[in-house]
Homo-oligomer: A and B are copies of this chain.
């Protein structure tokens, strides 16, 4: 997600007496540049709906909001643009990307393929650390199902899908899925206000995690495909309703 990927020179044929991993010593490459912070903030503002889909973002306003200079801000904007979160028309500036029903369907079709592949790979590899992370995600799932705000549920849902993406053992797959999740995060967030769907989704997530832990690649693949079929339908419904919460007369939705 961060875009920065370092790699240390490997130490070959170096007899190691301790069991410490090299990664535990790595301190450089934390990438705390101002522009990446700005990109993170703006990304969060977009995926949480602080900036609505279709909203025009003026550079001057963003400079005041973030407190950084224009060059830094613009570099951050280019990053978000590459991630697909904003669209920039020449001489008209950045606009928060707004998805129509067709586009959401296409994104979810892609997500279905990628996430099912990740689940299958996860079930095949079953690396202990990833399994533990998945179990922890399931545990948090149980905790918030009864009484949890939509924002909390969005977070643990993201953690759950993140665990699956990581468990695939393929960083590029995980990164692609992460970017995809950012693009649909707002829709997911709105979807989570439909409590009827939540129970179904959570049950499906549990079944999926069990299939992965059991190492049943075929089942994991199928369950994930079916799950995404369902959430994709909900997502399309959300967009068709104009990004509005069900039952609420949210006039801000007109901006989209």
Contacts and interface: CB of A to CB of B under 8 A. Distances in A.
Contacts of A74: 71, 75
A15 interface: no
A30 B92 CA distance: 12
A29 interface: yes
B88 A172 contact: no
Interface string A102-135: 0100110110011001000000000000000000
Contacts of A71: 71, 74
B114 A113 contact: yes
Nearest to A35: B78
A5 interface: yes
Contacts of A180: 172
Contacts of A79: 78-79, 81-82
B89 A172 contact: no
A5 B173 contact: no
A8 to B, nearest CB: 11
A199 interface: no
A17 interface: no
Contacts of A3: 81-82, 84, 87-88
A5 B87 contact: yes
Contact of A171 (B7, B106, B171, B173): B106
Nearest to A3: B81
A149 interface: no
A33 interface: yes
24 contacts: A3-B88, A4-B81, A4-B88, A5-B84, A5-B87, A5-B97, A7-B100, A28-B90, A29-B89, A30-B90, A31-B88, A31-B90, A71-B74, A74-B75, A75-B75, A75-B78, A78-B78, A78-B79, A79-B81, A106-B173, A109-B173, A110-B170, A110-B173, A113-B114
Given A3-B87, A113-B114, 6 more contacts: A5-B97, A7-B98, A28-B89, A84-B175, A103-B171, A110-B170
